[in-house]
Structure 1
Amino acid sequence: MRLLSLMSGALLLCAPALAAPNVPPAIASASAPLTLPDMPLHDPWIIADRATRTYWLFTTNQPRMTGDPRLGIMAYSSHDLKHWTRPAVVFALPKNSWANAGAWAPEVHRWRGRWYLFSTFHNQDAPIPAVGNREGIRRSTILAVSDRLNGPYRLVRNGAPIADKSRMTLDGTLYVDPHDKPWLVYAHEWVQIGDGAMEAMPLDDRLGEAGPPRLLFNASAAPWLTPADKAKGNLVTDGPELFRTHTGTLLMLWSSYQKGSYVETLARSTSGRITGPWEQLAPLVKHDSGHGMLFRRFDGQLMMVLHRPFHHARGKLYVMRDDGDRIAVVREAIDLDGETHPTD
């Protein structure tokens, strides 16, 4: 029970899983006419809501899909992971915000009885300090809250960045340690520091900063990063998500590049603690695929969703296996998403 509650985005799945609803295809396609190839999305985040037996997929708002031009987050919904409703905006950034672009990497987490939305926004015209001759702009993960999973969400602390605004904090995720203490884990942007990093910052009960950030690892720690990537100076860290296996091993999904192609990969804490040390494992999925996250279907099966390709991205589902010391891809869920690309 406790181990599942440590999986980001799966806080509803601590109770025994139930079987997926038996929805006749004709009814499902009428009420939810979209399939994943129809659904433009980056950085997908899926919550399996047992209370309504609904899967919610959060991503950056696409006005052509919602008819809503505001900068923010939209959500698709499904009862079977195959047929999806047209999306609706669940959060819109107020016009008086410090940011004017972004709405990247939305994540929704249950904390202290409410739903919290983490997402990354930026402002190209607001410089911040950078390392050496690099460029720094304001890019930060901010927080919004709602009493309902499907929103609407409203800003916490008027949209102030969770971490210090002088740090380019990308793709922030919530991790709750075995002592029930929350942490913000995020990618410290290569744009600002060159060798992108993964960092963790302790939070208080209101999900505000409670101490200085700690370096977990740099992108250059991954042995599969190639000289071509390094020569460009673009050592990217993207999309962290924490997962504790059935044996208690703490893993991190994250993304970067290999030979110019996006990669979904895995790191492992050798101590079992968020502070590491962290060792890098082999990539899970290549072929310009990444920014994945894990969730469980209502029948208990571990799943991963990511986007592919990086440009004009669509959602891609995988059936996964918890091997105790790592996770592994079992198969592509082509029965759900219709894709046929190879997994590695």
Structure 2
Amino acid sequence: MFISVNVSSGEPESAFAGIAATYPSPVPETRPMRLPDMPLHDPFVVADGTTRTYCLYTSNVPAVSSVDGVGTMVYRSQDLRDWTRPVVVFLTEEQEGIWATEGGWAPEVHTWGGRYYLFTTLHNQDRELPVPPPGRWGTPLPLMNHMRGTVIAVSDSLLGPFTVLDAARPTPPPHLMTLDGTLYVDPSGQPWMVYAHEWLQTIDGTMEAVRPAPDLTRTVGDPLFLFKASDASWISERIPGGVPHQLPPYVTDGPQLYRAPEGSLIMLWSTYEKDVAGPDGTVGGGYVQTYAVSESGTLAGPWRQHRPLVRDDSGHGMLFHTFDGRLMMIVHRPFEDARGKLYEMEFQGHELRVLRQRTDLDGGG
């Protein structure tokens, strides 16, 4: 395929692999950082009202945090302009008996039951999974599958340290190759983990959900199918002329659930557009940020796909409110050597719209 295996999985496979955890104190630095100077991928912001501090979580970058190891670090700011140097809050190598130490992708922190829970995706290339047989959406490519999935870790502080709840396995079924799990709590108070099921197993990547137990230590029941990537018809509407219609695979990435003011349930998610002809006659394209709306207002859907919010190799976005009440979206761009980009947003009914990029905060580009 025109999209490489690593990029199409949604993450750079080897960015943080093979680094030993040493956990020294961060290098003292009083000069604030700005978003153009801050390496980050899969950004997630917690606006902590108690301290009026924005906590921006991302995968650990040892060159910035001064802490070796695969894990999670957090930048902090009170105005979204000036940020502290990051603090490491989670390291895989400190988790006794953990099933995987690679990855550390898509970290996000949620409050549940009075504690803080970190969701992050790990993988173990030494624990191979069989290539699935042909399924209802096509025949998977003959590429290696291995264990990949989201783990949950807990702490009493936004600054960690976080300790994994189950070191033996990911939260989604371990025979599924999944990533980017996020927390959604339905109107009855039931928590769900919503995650992306890799195109490597499904050829047409899907969004699915599984119910954790109330203490988030295990799951209850089978996964619930939500939608598949190709349901977004715009993915293939810009296919370059003169190329064969070799469209699969389709990628799902970065789900984030949000309840609109008028009650609609929306999901931000990312994928790759099919708009660039590859040298071998196949079709690829750039990373895009899009969203879907559940017509029933529940996870069960059906989910109506909307057009992209931001293109330009941007994605893995999430919504948060500033302390003065503005709705913001943060994405990373470009996919490689990514930086955070901020957009002011608004809802018009269940429609989510971009008002403007906050270049005064993110430096533009």
- Does structure 1 retain, via aligned residues, the 8 Å contact 2:93–2:101? no
Encode CA deviations 1:254-306: one digit per residue, 9 max, x unaligned: 00011210000010100001111111011100000000000000001000000
* Counterpart position of 1:306: 331
Choose from 219, 224, 240 the match for 2:234: 224
- Does structure 1 retain, via aligned residues, the 8 Å contact 2:99–2:167? no
Quote the offset at 1:160 in angstroms: 2.4
* Counterpart position of 2:46: 47
Choose from 311, 317, 322 the match for 1:297: 322
Choose from 215, 218, 237 the match for 2:252: 237
Encode CA deviations 1:300-338: one digit per residue, 9 max, x unaligned: 100000000000100000001022212110000011111
Quote the offset at 1:67 in angstroms: 1.1
Identity %: 51
Q: One-letter code of the match for 2:219?
A: E
For structure 2, the residue ranges without an aligned partner over 5 or more in a row are 1-28, 134-141, 276-284
* Counterpart position of 1:214: 224
Q: One-letter code of the match for 2:183?
A: L
Choose from 279, 282, 289 the match for 1:264: 289
* Counterpart position of 2:65: 66
| Cα distance in 2, alignment partners of residues 224 and 102 from structure 1 | 30
| Cα distance in 1, alignment partners of residues 311 and 170 from structure 2 | 32
Instruction: Identify which range, 86-95 or 104-113, moves more after superposition.
Output: 86-95
* SS class of match (2:36): helix
Quote the offset at 1:206 in angstroms: 1.1
- 1:52-131 to structure 2, matched below 5 A, reads 52-94=51-93, 96-131=97-132
Q: State the TM-score, normalizing by the size of structure 2.
A: 0.82
Q: One-letter code of the match for 1:146?
A: S
Quote the offset at 1:88 in angstroms: 1.3
Quote the offset at 1:174 in angstroms: 0.3
* Counterpart position of 1:190: 199
* Counterpart position of 1:254: 269
Quote the offset at 1:32 in angstroms: 5.3
- Does structure 2 retain, via aligned residues, the 8 Å contact 1:122–1:139? yes
> How many positions carry a matched residue from both structures?
311
| Cα distance in 2, alignment partners of residues 305 and 35 from structure 1 | 14
| Cα distance in 1, alignment partners of residues 322 and 168 from structure 2 | 33
| CA RMSD in angstroms, aligned pairs only | 1.6
- 1:126-141 to structure 2, matched below 5 A, reads 126-132=127-133, 133-141=142-150
Choose from 256, 260, 277 the match for 2:302: 277
- Is 1:154–2:153 an aligned residue pair? no
Instruction: Identify which range, 156-165 or 308-317, moves more after superposition.
Output: 156-165
* SS class of match (1:211): strand
* Counterpart position of 2:152: 143
Q: One-letter code of the match for 1:254?
A: W
Encode CA deviations 1:71-115: one digit per residue, 9 max, x unaligned: 100000001000011111100012642213100000100000000
- Does structure 2 retain, via aligned residues, the 8 Å contact 1:134–1:193? no
Q: One-letter code of the match for 2:206?
A: A
Tell me: CA distance 1:110–1:125, structure 2 relative to 1, closer, same or farther (3 Å). Answer: same
| Cα distance in 1, alignment partners of residues 31 and 262 from structure 2 | 38
| Cα distance in 1, alignment partners of residues 351 and 209 from structure 2 | 21
| Cα distance in 2, alignment partners of residues 76 and 176 from structure 1 | 26
* Counterpart position of 1:17: none
- Does structure 1 retain, via aligned residues, the 8 Å contact 2:151–2:166? no
Quote the offset at 1:43 in angstroms: 0.1
Q: One-letter code of the match for 2:228?
A: N
Q: One-letter code of the match for 2:103?
A: G
| Cα distance in 2, alignment partners of residues 316 and 159 from structure 1 | 36
Q: State the TM-score, normalizing by the size of structure 1.
A: 0.87
Q: One-letter code of the match for 1:213?
A: P
- Is 1:167–2:176 an aligned residue pair? yes
| Cα distance in 2, alignment partners of residues 130 and 111 from structure 1 | 36
Tell me: CA distance 1:138–1:329, structure 2 relative to 1, closer, same or farther (3 Å). Answer: same
Quote the offset at 1:175 in angstroms: 0.3
For structure 1, the residue ranges without an aligned partner over 5 or more in a row are 1-29
Quote the offset at 1:158 in angstroms: 2.3
Q: One-letter code of the match for 1:214?
A: L
* Counterpart position of 1:9: none
